[in-house]
Amino acid sequence: MDIQELITRPSSEQRKALLNKEVSDVELVNAVYERIDAVEDKIGAYNSLTKELALETAKLVDEKIKNGEELPPLAGIPLALKDNINYKGTYTTASSKILENFVSPYDATASKKLKENLIPVIGKANCDEFAMGSSNENSAFKIVRNPWNLNKVPGGSSGGSAAAIAAGEATISLGSETGGSVRLPASFCGLVGLKPTYGRVSRYGLIAFASSLDQIGPFGRNVEDVALLLNVIAGHDEHDSTSLNVPVPDYVQGLRNDLKGVKVGYIKELCSDGLQSEVAASIQKTLEIYKSLGAEIVEISLPLIKYSVGVYYIIATAEASSNLARFDGVKYGYRTKNPENLYDMYIKTRAEGFGDEVKRRIMLGTYALSSGYYDAYYKKAQQVRRLVKNDFDNAFSKVDVLVSPTCPYTAFDIGSKVQDPLSMYLTDIATITANLAGIPALNVPVGLDSNGMPIGVQLLANSLNETKLLNLAFMLEDVVQFKYDTPSKMLVK
């Protein structure tokens, strides 16, 4: 296979070519950089490239292959790392001007694990500033374009992590989730993307947005790649007190289990009104596939889901207003020129360093936490959050997995929602609840709409049930046979 084609395939094919010595890893990684030279101008998936580091890792992989040593399953597979995850010696900007020249002095735990598994990091992927957004139009540096149609958004906030794979500029990637930021771009770009159970993956070294919701998650061209990457990053970490101290199963093992007797629920409130008709049809098709594979289909009502977006935008902004207090021009990054005094320095640094959406979140969150309003907003939101979790507990006593659209519609036009934050926030209506409840959820691409844009289905499972989730996703993918490499072919034509 031609190497430019090989880089658009899933990791299993690339690994085979490496182990059979058809290509070296240095050649594979260089081929990805050639591809980046050819298409990145149109896409904008990366904030910075880390070529020297990637080639160092690739050389190590080649050395081991030459010596006949065992290689970890994803060794040598090109990865894009979201630019809010620290990787020692690289720029880590969270797509914000306030961190424009910040170089990571240490590795996030996820990054450390990438290194231990000899996974070359191609570059730091563009995202919405501090992961706040649903379209990747909030990056301080440049927007990301959807490789399926350059006039459409790739979804956010991990838009670069998704677009990089769809455009053939990486094979796998890591993003982060607070309210859907892996699943939404996966849905808009025709990829598999997973938000793990809260605490399954260490948050150490991930720039905090809303600490009770944040979680790092993997993207891939297929379910197997996502399972393999979850194997790499999952596990307890003494540096993160919210990481769970429970054993990590092998997520690849259970992929092919048959679905006889499995109960699949569809979420009534998310599968009825307000859906693009082709999205609604895809849900029906998905349920029929599961039925034909032996699963039982059940309707599940989650009546509190309608409060999720409201609850999320109180809790997430409250936590963000506190987390982002650290960016004050003293400890990190950008500092205003010629301030009059210390107070003036704080004010001007933050006014000049943060973008509009980040400022909006800080103001909303500060308001929700202020005395006199705390009980009415923040406390109330926490109470409703608990009730949302109860709804899920109840649902998972009846079914193994829940199904819904990942988003009510497919990728929208660049610029079409920037003036209307509320409509932008509502894009996350189907994804946000999983973050509030701490449960795992993923996106599987299942088809295209009449404009040729990918449609994604969301699967949700109970806490720590990633194995079941990936199993159901794998079985669906096997029937659907989604053509994930369409955009990488179109882009070089």
Alpha helices for 338-428 (secondary structure H): 342-353, 356-369, 380-395, 421-426
Q: Which is nearer to ligand GLN, 96 or 488 (CB)?
A: 96
CA Rg value for the chain = 21
Q: Report the candidate in 133, 147, 138 with the shortest Cα–Cα distance to residue 80.
A: 147
Q: Which is nearer to ligand GLN, 131 or 144 (CB)?
A: 131
Q: Report the candidate in 180, 214, 182 with the shortest Cα–Cα distance to residue 426.
A: 180
Which tokens sit at 304?
A: 């509190």
Catalytic-role residue among 24, 82, 321, 404: 82
DSSP state at residue 10: -
Q: Which is nearer to ligand GLN, 102 or 313 (CB)?
A: 313
**Residues of this chain that bind ligand GLN (CB under 6 A):** 131-134, 157, 177-181, 209, 316, 428
Q: Which is nearer to ligand GLN, 25 or 177 (CB)?
A: 177
Catalytic-role residue among 181, 187, 308, 404: 181
Residue 181 designated active-site: yes
Q: Judge whether 362 and 324 are in contact, CB under 8 Å.
A: yes
Catalytic-role residue among 157, 173, 282, 463: 157
For 449, list phi and psi in degrees, rounded to 5: -85, -175
Beta carbon of residue 415, minimum distance to ligand GLN (angstroms, whole number): 17
Distance CA 243, CA 67 (A): 37
**What's the gap between Cα 352 and its chain centre?**
28
Q: Judge whether 167 and 148 are in contact, CB under 8 Å.
A: no
Which tokens sit at 429?
A: 């209506």
Beta carbon of residue 427, minimum distance to ligand GLN (angstroms, whole number): 7
DSSP codes, 108-166:
-HHHHHHHHTT--EEEEEP-SGGG--SSS---SS----BTTBTTB---SSSHHHHHHHH
Beta carbon of residue 161, minimum distance to ligand GLN (angstroms, whole number): 11
Exposure string over 273-286, b if 16+ CB within 10 A, otherwise e: eebbebbbebbebb
Alpha helices for 173-293 (secondary structure H): 183-189, 223-233, 268-271, 277-292
Beta carbon of residue 478, minimum distance to ligand GLN (angstroms, whole number): 29
For 474, list phi and psi in degrees, rounded to 5: -60, -45
User: Which residue reads 């094919």 in tokens?
Assistant: 13
Q: Which is nearer to ligand GLN, 57 or 157 (CB)?
A: 157
Q: Report the candidate in 18, 260, 5, 219 with the shortest Cα–Cα distance to residue 118.
A: 18
Beta carbon of residue 298, minimum distance to ligand GLN (angstroms, whole number): 28
Distance CA 196, CA 95 (A): 23
Residue 157 designated active-site: yes
Beta carbon of residue 291, minimum distance to ligand GLN (angstroms, whole number): 32
- The SS3 of residue 460 is strand
Q: Which is nearer to ligand GLN, 180 or 220 (CB)?
A: 180
Q: Which is nearer to ligand GLN, 217 or 265 (CB)?
A: 217
Beta carbon of residue 466, minimum distance to ligand GLN (angstroms, whole number): 18
Q: Which is nearer to ligand GLN, 65 or 441 (CB)?
A: 441
Q: Which is nearer to ligand GLN, 49 or 153 (CB)?
A: 153
Q: Judge whether 82 and 94 are in contact, CB under 8 Å.
A: no
Q: Judge whether 143 and 127 are in contact, CB under 8 Å.
A: no
According to DSSP, the β-strands at 215-220 and 79-82 are: unpaired
Beta carbon of residue 420, minimum distance to ligand GLN (angstroms, whole number): 14
Beta carbon of residue 405, minimum distance to ligand GLN (angstroms, whole number): 16
**Torsion angle, CA of 233/239/243/247, rounded to 10 degrees?**
60
Q: Active-site positions?
A: 82, 157, 181
